[in-house]
Structures are given as C-alpha cells and as structure tokens.
Amino acid sequence: MRQWTATAFLQASGMFWESFALHAALALDVFTPLAAGPLPIEELARQTGCSRRGLDMLATALCALDLLRRTEDGRCELLPFARQYLCRGEAAYLGYMVGHHRGLVPGWSRLAEAVRTGRDVCDTAPPPTENRECFLMGMRNVANAQASLSVPHIDLGGRQRLLDLGGGTGAYAVRFCREHPELTATVFDLPASRPFAERVLQEEGLTDRIRFVAGDFTRDALPSGFEVAWLSQILHGLHRDTAAEVVRKAGQALTDGGLLLIQEFALDDDRMGPLHPALFSLNMLVGTRDGQAYTQAELTAFMHAAGADEVRVLPLELPQGCRILAGTIRHGR
C-alpha cells in the first residue's frame, strides 16, 4: 500500500506540469531538428517557429527531464532516449501516442463534471484525420511493444486463421504472422482505419497474408471460419451489454475448438485496483458514453456466455495491469 505524505500528494497533484511540457515539445516537434546535431537555441527556435524566450524555457525543462542537454557552448543536444523515440521518422517514434494523450486533456479537465453526472464530457463527433492518425499510429507503438512481451508466449496450437477484431493498423496481426509462418489474418475495423492499416501492411510486406475488412463490430456481421479471435483493448469502450454481444459475435466467428483471446486492462474482482485500469476506467468515463474497465470475472463471464470453456488468464507479466484471457469455443454446449 502506498504511504502518502503531504509532499508526495502535492507532487502527484502537480505532475501535469511534466506531462504538458512533453506534450508541447512533441506538438512543436522540438526534437527532430536536433537529430542532425546540436543547435543554438536561436536556430532551433527558427526551425520550429517558436519564440526564443519560450523555447529556451521549454528546453531547460527538457534538460531537467533528461531528454536534452546543453553543450559547453550552449547548444541544445539530444540525449539517447529522445533520439530513439522522439524524432519523427524513427521506427520507435512515440509522438503519435503523445498526441493522443494531448487530445485527452480537455475531457480530463472536466473529470469532476463527468463523475457528478455519470456521463461523458467530450464531443462524440468523428475525430479529425490528424487525431485519428495519432490514435491509430500511437496504438501501433503500444501494440508493438506489448506484442513483443505476449505474442511469442501464446500457443495457437497449430491454428492457421486469425481474426484481429478492432485491430486498427494490424500491429498484432503482423506480430502473430511473424511468429507463425503458416498463419493468415483478417483485421476487422472501421473504414477510417483502412488507409493506415494498408500503409502498415505494405510497409511490413504482409499484404499477401493479412487482409483488412471494413466494418463496425458493434453493428455489422463478422466474417467467419476463423480458428483464433484476438480482441485487444476494444471492450472497455463499450456498454456492458454491447461488450458481451461483441464477445458472443467473436465466438460465432470461430470454428468449433477455436481459441478466443481477450486482452484488456482488467480490474481486480474486488475493484481495489490495479492503478492503471482504475484510472483508465475514468478515461472511459470522460471520453465514451458507456465505457469502463471490466473486472477479470466480468470478462470471464462474457467468454463463458459466448460458448468458451477452459477460460484462463495467461501467466504473463504485462505492464499497466494488462491481462490476456484465453478460452476454447465449444459450439452447441
């Protein structure tokens, strides 16, 4: 249990200062011009379209955060983490995910209102293309990191046809296909995701093994005949009844004996934690009409209702309270 002190509490209350400094640095693309070498603050300000005064203050904060350093002659220079993760064009670039986080700020600033009313406080209109790109490509970054910890340890039992439901750019489908050369996959997601998914699949050289099918999994019929269904982080945005129905449809898309896999930020059954799923549930409160984080027991119940037996949590150590549940579909149970 955390042992709070007044100092620690106030530090936690003010941690948004660090977040906003990071958001601003990525929004202004401060790091990319430095990839070619250190620059005087005046030149960096010119290249980023910033005032010298403002950028110099931000650069000082970024130095204090160990992302930049100042050389002996006062130029700004990247430190290794920033070079690898914060420069546009790098394979591990995190700017898309930071952009997504920045887009969540208006909703989180109204959290008290959302708690009081029990309703979301965000505009429910479709996001602009830029925001959609930040979300999808940011999710790709997260999925790539997470998949390296999970996919190599998931036994598909020789199954060869996978449905990546709500799979966005297909990052997990890509990793599964890399791990299993005999596997083919279908990514099912909204039409707005298609150009991003097709770009990624082209980059990965897997267009012959992974196809994209456009649709809304809450409304549309799903393709069928799959042996594995992978549902990663799609249920928390849905009402409980809708989430259960989506899991049921995923079960129907599988052949008898098919493997149903659900990955979610799962709450403990006593609803005392973990911290990230608990905070993520608040993120769903401010940003979705009916979403929430579900407990492990609730996710298990969804799977049982969909015809899965032998439901179990895979013994994997994953970050941020993430859990993967697996079950075998038995039609006509």
Q: Please report the pLDDT score of residue 333 as a whole number.
A: 66
Q: Please report the pLDDT score of residue 91 as a whole number.
A: 87
Q: Please report the pLDDT score of residue 7 as a whole number.
A: 97
Q: Please report the pLDDT score of residue 134 as a whole number.
A: 87
Summarize pLDDT for 87-113 with one digit per residue, the tens. Answer: 999 989 999 999 999 999 999 999 999
SS3 295: strand
SS3 271: coil
Q: Which CATH number fits domain 6-91: 3.40.50.720, 3.40.50.1220, 1.10.357.10, 1.10.10.10?
A: 1.10.10.10
Q: Where are the domain boundaries for CATH 3.40.50.150 in the chain? A: 111-329
CATH code for the structural domain at 111-329: 3.40.50.150
258-273 as b/e: b if 16+ CB within 10 A: bbbbbbbbbbeeeeee
Whole-angstrom Cα distance, residue 164 to residue 199?
A: 17
Q: Please report the pLDDT score of residue 1 as a whole number.
A: 85
Q: Please report the pLDDT score of residue 277 as a whole number.
A: 98
Long-range contacts at 98-103 (CB < 8 A, ≥ 24 apart):
98/22, 98/23, 98/26, 98/138, 99/26, 99/27, 99/130, 99/131, 99/134, 99/138, 100/131, 100/134, 100/135, 100/138, 100/139, 101/19, 101/23, 102/23, 102/26, 102/27, 103/127, 103/131, 103/134, 103/135
DSSP 288: -
Structure tokens at 209: 């093994």
Q: Are 173 and 164 in contact (CB under 8 A)?
A: yes
Q: Please report the pLDDT score of residue 128 as a whole number.
A: 61
End-to-end CA distance of the chain: 43
Q: Where are the domain boundaries for CATH 1.10.10.10 in the chain? A: 6-91
Catalytic residue among 236, 239, 304, 331: 236
Q: Please report the pLDDT score of residue 130 as a whole number.
A: 67
Summarize pLDDT for 41-73 with one digit per residue, the tens. Answer: 999 999 999 999 999 999 999 999 999 999 999
Radius of gyration (C-alpha) of the chain in whole angstroms: 22
Active site residue 236: yes
Q: Which residue stretches of the chain have pLDDT < 70?
A: 123-130, 333
Element (H, E) at 324: strand 322-329
Q: What is the DSSP string of 141-173?
A: HHHHHHHHHHGGG---TT--EEEEET-TTTHHH
